[in-house]
Structure 1
Amino acid sequence: MMLTGLLCGALLGFVMQRGRFCLTGGFRDMYLTKDNRMFYALLIAITIQSVGVFALIQAGLIEFSAGAFPWVATILGSFIFGIGIILAGGCATGTWYRAGEGLIGSWIALFGYMAMSATMKTGALAPINNGIKKFDAPVNSIPEMFGLSVWPFIAILAVITVIFVIRQLRKPKVAIPTMKAKRSGLNHLLFEKRWHPFFTAILVGLIALLAWPLSEATGRMSGLGITTPSANILQYLVTGDSDKFVNWGMFLVLGILIGSFIAAKGSREFRFRAPDAKTAVSSFIGGILMGFGASWAGGCSIGNGLVMTAMMTWQGWVSLAFMILGTWTASYFVYVRPRTKTKTNPSAALRTSTT
């Protein structure tokens, strides 16, 4: 049954690679270019998963408990994670699928991410990770706090999502050059045709929904998750304890790598690309911050930003907000401020243009 994690991960990796479903770029573009398409795509995936999962819960097919809300850890961890994904050049899932494309910088970021996640969860920093989570609110579920059914909240989310999507689709379309088709039929649709972000989001939402019953069938009472499974890989390699660390989630993240590799090879986008020294250092530092922040926050852009939001928890929506805020903060220092300095310093601009 654990091999279903590999299948689910492969589907997710394939879809995210072909659809360029990058939340880091999406959050960054909201700030830099006022382009909200990827954020709207995320809302689509959240809505689809939320409707499906709560229908399964109501039917008694799966179980879910929101638990307490570790608000201090969620706020601080999500903000740090947002900074980390800009430095790393991709969020946790994005880093996995870009590693499948042959991007060496993503492998460097992954190592930092896995190492810090393992250190925070079972290593020397575990007391720090566990200590801050003692500051919590007893209720994490938003509907439970208001004493209401979850369905009005899902309906509100669905209406907001539909409004945003319709407004986006009504905007004038910009022609985007695509790869010259050398194939036809299914191969063209899978590997050559550019996927629309909203179509990709629908598939991501359905895969996220599929993950719940597949995961719970193995005793793992959760949906998609990246941080703990990533840490488990390193912990298993070091300790050899398969009973403790080998589970459905570990197969999931390995599947993302495989699915992305298949998609990149099929679309002729796979190639090994080595970063320069500065980018390599930035990727590693970003990976460290991702692992630290996601461990504190109890999830990454997928675990909190996609899954816990769909479950209508404070942890998910607060995490998403501070993740975006961290991304915008890092984007200012990485992209905006250097350009501002160059414009106000002609000699710096001259040096830049001659190097």
Structure 2
Amino acid sequence: MIVTGLLLGAVLGFVLQRGRFCVTGAFRDVFVTRNTRWLTAFLIVVAVQSVGIFALTAAGAIHPVNKDLPILAVVVGGFVFGFAIVMAGGCATGTYYRAGEGLVGSWLALLTYAGSSAMMKTGLLKPFNDGVRSVTVPVRTIYETLGVSPWVLVVVLVGAVAMAAHHHLSKPKRVVATLPPRRSGLDHVLFEKSWHPFVTALLIGAIAIAAWPLSTATGRNDGLGITTPSSNLVNLLVTGQPKYLDWGTLLVVGLLVGSFLAAKGSGEFRVRVPSAQIAVRSVVGGVLMGVGASLAGGCTIGNAMVQTAQFTYQGWIAFAFMLLGTGAAAKVFIMGHRPAEQVRPGTPAAEKAQASVTTGV
């Protein structure tokens, strides 16, 4: 049954690559170009998954378990992770799918991210990680604190995200010159046509929902996750112990497979070697990603996408501090090195900057 992790991971990697779904770009856009289109797409994933999680829980198909909030680790780890993803050029999933495209910088970031997360979870830095995460406060979910049904928060979230999506969809569409399609039918849709961010978000939301029962069926009581599976993959390769081979481990392997197939099929696969400066930044960013995600208890997927969908304090606090960390790094590495007109919303230079941030070019 754990092979479903590989299959679902391949589908997710394919969708992420073809949809150019970059969480780092979504977060950076908020600060660099003051644009929330991709952040709205990210929140669509959270809202869709939230409906699915609580529906599956009500049906008795899954049984999510929430723990006390490790407040210090979540705050520090979330900020460090948010800062690191700008340095690395992508968050956990972004690094995986860009590695599948042939970006050597993402290979470096991925290796160091997985390695440092393994050190934090099972290696030399485990005592430090456990020590910081031991500082907890006895709160778990927002709806428990408010004394309301989780469906109240689901309705509020879905409504707010629907309004944000409508805001962006109602804007006048820009006419962009494009070349005539070279493919037709399903081949055109899968490998050539640009995917709308909100359509991609709906697909990822559906994948995130499917992850819960598929993972639960193998004894892993969780949904999508990247950091612990990456750590387990390193431990599996180093020790050969079968206990590290589970649904999540195959999920992250599937991400590489799916993104590679998508990049090859669309003609976007190309081995690209970064400059020495970018390579060093990718390595440092990858290390900090592993440290930050391990402290916070998850990355932009495990925390900002999955835990938020469950309305846990850990998820939403980590999400907030990841955004703050991304904003701080954007100010250091992006906004501080661009002329003023490149960061003013609405200018052609700002639009070009937004495109480069979103695509990771």
Please tell me the TM-score bracket, short chain as reference.
Answer: over 0.9
Which amino acid counterpart does residue 159 of structure 2 have in structure 1? V
- Pairwise CA distance, 1:281: 0.3
Aligned to 2:192: 192
Could you say if the C-alpha distance between residues 177 and 268 of structure 1 is closer, same or farther in structure 2, counting changes exceeding 3 Å?
farther
Using the alignment, how far apart are the partners of 2:238 and 2:16 within structure 1? 30
Aligned to 2:310: 311
User: Is 1:250 aligned to 2:249, yes or no?
Assistant: yes
Could you say if the C-alpha distance between residues 53 and 178 of structure 1 is closer, same or farther in structure 2, counting changes exceeding 3 Å?
farther
Using the alignment, how far apart are the partners of 1:85 and 1:179 within structure 2? 33
- Pairwise CA distance, 1:175: 2.8
Partner of 2:250, secondary structure, is helix
> Quick check: 1:215–1:221 contact (8 Å CA) kept in 2?
yes
Using the alignment, how far apart are the partners of 2:269 and 2:206 within structure 1? 26
Using the alignment, how far apart are the partners of 2:287 and 2:34 within structure 1? 28
Could you list the per-position Cα deviations for residues 239-258 of structure 1 after superposition, in whole angstroms to 9, with x for gaps in the alignment?
A: 11112x11000000000110
Aligned to 1:56: 56
Once the two structures are superposed, the pairs formed by residues 32-181 of structure 1 within 5 Å of their partners are 32-178=32-178, 180-181=180-181
Using the alignment, how far apart are the partners of 1:270 and 1:139 within structure 2? 46
Using the alignment, how far apart are the partners of 1:321 and 1:48 within structure 2? 20
Could you list the per-position Cα deviations for residues 271-320 of structure 1 after superposition, in whole angstroms to 9, with x for gaps in the alignment?
A: 10010111000000000010000000000000001100001111111111
Which amino acid counterpart does residue 325 of structure 2 have in structure 1? G
Which amino acid counterpart does residue 301 of structure 2 have in structure 1? I
Could you tell me the percent identity over the aligned residues? 53
Aligned to 1:213: 213
Using the alignment, how far apart are the partners of 1:84 and 1:179 within structure 2? 37
Could you list the per-position Cα deviations for residues 102-133 of structure 1 after superposition, in whole angstroms to 9, with x for gaps in the alignment?
A: 11100000011011000000111101100011
> Quick check: 1:178–1:194 contact (8 Å CA) kept in 2?
no
Could you list the per-position Cα deviations for residues 19-69 of structure 1 after superposition, in whole angstroms to 9, with x for gaps in the alignment?
A: 000010111111111111111001111111110111010011111111111
- Pairwise CA distance, 1:178: 4.2
User: Is 1:281 aligned to 2:315, yes or no?
Assistant: no
Q: Normalization by structure 2: what TM-score? A: 0.93
> Quick check: 2:26–2:42 contact (8 Å CA) kept in 1?
no
Which amino acid counterpart does residue 193 of structure 1 have in structure 2? K
> Quick check: 1:77–1:294 contact (8 Å CA) kept in 2?
yes
Using the alignment, how far apart are the partners of 1:252 and 1:141 within structure 2? 27
Using the alignment, how far apart are the partners of 1:177 and 1:70 within structure 2? 50
Which amino acid counterpart does residue 315 of structure 1 have in structure 2? Q
Which amino acid counterpart does residue 186 of structure 1 have in structure 2? L
Using the alignment, how far apart are the partners of 1:318 and 1:302 within structure 2? 14
Which amino acid counterpart does residue 258 of structure 2 have in structure 1? G
- Pairwise CA distance, 1:179: 5.2
Which amino acid counterpart does residue 14 of structure 1 have in structure 2? F
Aligned to 2:349: none
Aligned to 1:267: 266
- Pairwise CA distance, 1:134: 1.4
Aligned to 1:337: 336
> Quick check: 1:178–1:193 contact (8 Å CA) kept in 2?
no
Using the alignment, how far apart are the partners of 2:339 and 2:245 within structure 1? 49
Partner of 1:195, secondary structure, is coil
Aligned to 1:353: none
User: Is 1:9 aligned to 2:9, yes or no?
Assistant: yes
- Pairwise CA distance, 1:338: 2.3
Which amino acid counterpart does residue 257 of structure 1 have in structure 2? L
Aligned to 2:293: 294
Could you say if the C-alpha distance between residues 57 and 76 of structure 1 is closer, same or farther in structure 2, counting changes exceeding 3 Å?
same
Aligned to 2:238: 238
Which amino acid counterpart does residue 230 of structure 2 have in structure 1? S
RMSD across aligned positions (CA): 1.4
- Pairwise CA distance, 1:210: 0.3
Which amino acid counterpart does residue 24 of structure 1 have in structure 2? T
Aligned to 2:348: none
> Quick check: 1:7–1:255 contact (8 Å CA) kept in 2?
yes
* TM superposition outliers: structure 1 runs of 4+ over 3 Å: 176-180
Partner of 1:223, secondary structure, is coil
Aligned to 1:22: 22
Using the alignment, how far apart are the partners of 1:111 and 1:318 within structure 2? 27
Q: Normalization by structure 1: what TM-score? A: 0.94
Q: Which moved more, 1:163-172 or 1:197-206?
A: 163-172
Using the alignment, how far apart are the partners of 1:108 and 1:252 within structure 2? 20
Runs of at least 5 residues in structure 1 that lack an aligned partner in the other structure: 344-355
Could you list the per-position Cα deviations for residues 66-121 of structure 1 after superposition, in whole angstroms to 9, with x for gaps in the alignment?
A: 11111110010010000110000000010000000011100000011011000000
